[in-house]
């Protein structure tokens, strides 16, 4: 059976590292790292996520400010707030919680956030900077922020001792949030990467040759356990709720990978929940620390 990659444990380890970094930065420079989160509307999942971010900030010693705006907030008002936060020297990271109400242009909002405060890593400037980096380790010196979930996948692999250099990696999914950025990060780690999706021909055969599989396609148990090569490392990004009459609430969460069967072949695998999920907020904390360091260096 595969070894479980404990995302909760690794996320807590990263947050402890961030806490130490926040304290060191404040002691050395007087800069107190600050993260501002904007929430428009009352989406229940977004509210939970924002609350968890606040808890993580408190644990790490990051000053957290939340702007909760009504669902009918105008594009103009939201853009004005972002401009004010861009100009505020006490705000080092800005995160606008998605999804936004339908009347607001999400792309315009993401573009409005200063790339130096884009701790979500979605600004085209950060995407472009990363693709031109010579080395992954140059990320902080160049002031580049990476999308948190994708970055978390790489941390899970490396902190679990998975060798990426020279590995044959298959990424299933091509979203801007996970699939594309994690593919670029794997290439930056010198893996040979194949990007697949729901229309890939002979997908099972492609996956069978992979040393590393990252599944981010958003379909419950889409990746079958028999596709996984013996000894492969599996990162399951998917979170899907399916009906299960035997479960207390009649439903349960599963990933994009057929977990039980895959565990019989993989060397290590992330569970759902408790795998990739906790890493997203941990990497947000790390990005916020990096943003504060970048500000202190260039103020």
Is residue 154 in some structural domain? yes
Closest CA to 70 of 60, 78, 61, 80: 78
On whether both 152 and 258 belong to a single domain, the answer is: yes
CATH code of the domain in which 263 resides: 3.40.50.720
On whether both 162 and 270 belong to a single domain, the answer is: yes
On whether both 96 and 162 belong to a single domain, the answer is: no
Tokens of 195: 């990007």
Tokens of 40: 């428009």
Is residue 136 in some structural domain? no
Distance CA 145, CA 132 (A): 13
> Mind listing the pLDDT tens digit for each residue in 87-112?
999 999 999 999 999 999 999 999 99
On whether both 55 and 101 belong to a single domain, the answer is: yes
Domain count, the chain: 2
**Active site residue: 6, 15, 53, 236, which one?**
53
> Mind listing the pLDDT tens digit for each residue in 171-214?
999 999 999 999 999 999 999 999 999 899 999 999 999 999 99
Alpha helices by DSSP H, listed for the chain, are 7-29, 44-60, 75-87, 106-112, 124-132, 148-159, 179-188, 203-208, 259-263, 277-298
Q: Which of 100, 115, 130 delimits the end of a domain? A: 115
Is residue 5 in some structural domain? no
On whether both 241 and 161 belong to a single domain, the answer is: yes
Is residue 25 in some structural domain? no
On whether both 262 and 192 belong to a single domain, the answer is: yes
Overall average pLDDT of the 220-247 stretch: 95
Residue 96, pLDDT score: 96
Handedness of CA 23, 114, 134, 157 (dihedral sign): positive
Is residue 288 in some structural domain? no
Q: Which of 73, 97, 115 delimits the end of a domain? A: 115
Residue 32, pLDDT score: 98
What's the whole-number average pLDDT of the chain?
96
Share of the chain above pLDDT 70, in %: 100
**Active site residue: 6, 97, 211, 286, which one?**
97
Report yes or no: 191 and 210 within 8 Å, Cβ to Cβ: no
On whether both 168 and 260 belong to a single domain, the answer is: yes
Residue 67, pLDDT score: 97
**Active site residue: 6, 15, 118, 120, which one?**
120
Share of the chain above pLDDT 90, in %: 90
Overall average pLDDT of the 146-152 stretch: 97
Closest CA to 276 of 234, 228, 230: 234
Q: Is 53 a catalytic residue?
A: yes
Residue 135, pLDDT score: 83
Q: Is 97 a catalytic residue?
A: yes
Question: Is the per-residue pLDDT at 231 higher than 90?
Answer: yes
On whether both 153 and 106 belong to a single domain, the answer is: no
On whether both 205 and 267 belong to a single domain, the answer is: yes
Residue 138, pLDDT score: 87
On whether both 172 and 85 belong to a single domain, the answer is: no
Q: Is 120 a catalytic residue?
A: yes
Residue 299, pLDDT score: 81
Is residue 75 in some structural domain? yes
Is residue 298 in some structural domain? no
> Mind listing the pLDDT tens digit for each residue in 126-138?
999 999 888 888 8
On whether both 160 and 105 belong to a single domain, the answer is: no
Higher pLDDT, 298 or 289: 289
> Mind listing the pLDDT tens digit for each residue in 20-75?
999 999 999 999 999 999 999 998 889 999 999 999 999 999 999 999 999 999 99
Is residue 84 in some structural domain? yes
CATH code of the domain in which 69 resides: 3.40.50.10860
On whether both 257 and 158 belong to a single domain, the answer is: yes
Residue 137, pLDDT score: 85
Domain hosting 106: range is: 30-115
């Amino acid at each position: 059976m595969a070894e479980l990659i404990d995302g909760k444990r690794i996320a807590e380890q990263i947050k402890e590292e961030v806490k130490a970094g926040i304290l060191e930065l404040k002691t050395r420079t007087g800069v107190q790292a600050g993260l501002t989160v904007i929430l428009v509307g009352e989406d229940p999942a977004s509210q939970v996520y924002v609350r968890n971010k606040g808890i993580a900030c408190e644990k790490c010693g990051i000053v957290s400010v939340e702007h909760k705006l009504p669902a009918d907030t105008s594009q103009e008002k939201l853009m004005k707030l972002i401009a004010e936060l861009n100009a505020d020297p006490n705000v080092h990271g800005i995160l606008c919680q998605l999804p936004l109400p339908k009347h607001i242009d999400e792309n315009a909002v993401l573009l409005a956030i200063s790339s130096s405060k884009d701790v979500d890593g979605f600004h085209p400037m950060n995407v472009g900077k990363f693709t031109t980096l010579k080395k992954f380790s140059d990320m902080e010196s160049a002031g580049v922020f990476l999308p948190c979930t994708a970055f978390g996948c790489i941390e899970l692999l490396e902190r679990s001792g998975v060798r990426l250099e020279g590995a044959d990696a298959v990424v299933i999914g091509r979203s801007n949030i996970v699939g594309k950025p994690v593919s670029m990060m794997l290439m930056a780690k010198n893996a040979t990467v194949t990007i697949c999706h729901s229309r890939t021909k002979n997908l099972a055969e492609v996956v069978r040759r992979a040393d590393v599989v990252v599944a981010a396609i958003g379909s419950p148990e889409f990746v079958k356990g028999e596709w996984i090569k013996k000894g492969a490392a599996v990162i399951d990004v998917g979170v899907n709720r399916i009906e299960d009459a035997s479960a207390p609430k009649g439903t349960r969460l599963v990933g994009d990978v057929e977990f039980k069967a895959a565990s019989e072949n993989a060397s290590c695998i992330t569970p759902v929940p408790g795998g990739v999920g906790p890493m997203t907020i941990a990497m947000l904390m790390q990005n916020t620390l990096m943003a504060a360091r970048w500000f202190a260096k260039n103020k």
